[in-house]
Structure formats: C-alpha cells, structure tokens
Amino acid sequence: MRTVRVLVTALILAFFSPVLAAEVVDAGMPAPEWEMSDSEGREIAFPAVTQGRPGILFFWASWCPYCHVVMPYLQGIVEDYAEHGLQVFAINFKDDGDPVAYMEEHGYDFVVLPLGDLVADDYGVISSPGLLVVDGEGMVTYRRRPTRAPPGMAIAEVWDQQLREALDRILNRPADE
C-alpha cells in the first residue's frame, strides 16, 4: 500500500511540477528570450527580432472564444502602429487544431508561431488569451489579467484599450493619436 501511495505522489508531482515551477512573467520583468520557427519555417529569436521596437505576445488557441474576439482588435493595433514597426507574435499553445490554417483563413497579419507550448510555460501563461506588451528593451510593460467576463466584444474592447495605453506609454504617444 505504501508503494502505491509513493507512486501516486510521484506521478502527481511529475504532472504538476512544470506548472508549479513556471514563474509568471509580469509587467516590470524582463521578457524571457526564446527561439522557434514561425509558420513559414523562419527561425524567430525574441526579443532580438523586434530590433528595439515594441511587440505584443499573443498566446492563443484556435478553439478559444476570447482569442477569436480579440484578434480583429489586434489586427487594428498592427495597422495603427505600423509606423512604429509593431509586430504581434501569435504564439499558439494547448491546441490540437491547425493554427496556420486559422490565421490564413482570417487574414491576420501576425507572426504565427504554431508550437508555443514551451514558451507559454516560460512565461507562466496557463490560459488563453495571454497578452503581453514588451518594450524595445525587452521589458514586459503590460500583462492581461484573468477575467470572469464572458467572451465578447465588451471584453475585447477593454483589452484593446489596455494594449493601446501600454503601447502609447512606451512610444510617448498621446493616447488619442
């Protein structure tokens, strides 16, 4: 009986240890560096790829209703901040779907990173969407907080406003520009 308890305890610890070990990367902390291939096979090294410009890390899954409603807002941000070279890094995780096909079908202009589970772990992202703004020096300046709000336009608009405010602070840009 004791052997069974020890075995069960070991299995539980093995299963949960990555979750327990992951530090949550929050605003004011440096963004962990990572490298992975994008959907076109290019090696992306973050944050070096931003070349000193801000970026948004968007941890998502094709099944996530919150992700679906925020994506058009992220596309609007990409367009509105194009002069600043802003990129959205769409890091897919916890997904059995086809993230590349999803992005192509919807026409989003994001850097699509289909195999992002390990990066999500490094950032302590356990639910989607994960939204972080990283400044040109590689510091996280914004991280989305968990919500109990239902998926829909209202919460997507809140996140859009928060992302824009974080970007405007980084860029010293008036909020109404």
* End-to-end CA gap in the chain: 68
Burial class (CB in 10 A: 0-12, 13-18, 19+), 18: exposed
Q: In the prediction, which pLDDT does 3 show?
A: 57
Q: In the prediction, which pLDDT does 6 show?
A: 42
Q: In the prediction, which pLDDT does 55 show?
A: 97
Identify which of 16, 25, 33 has the alpha carbon closest to the alpha carbon of residue 131: 25
Write down the CATH superfamily of domain 22-171. Glutaredoxin (3.40.30.10)
Q: In the prediction, which pLDDT does 92 show?
A: 98
**pLDDT digits 0-9 by tens, 86-111:** 999 999 999 999 999 999 999 999 99
**pLDDT digits 0-9 by tens, 64-75:** 999 999 999 999
Q: What is the pTM of this model?
A: 0.84
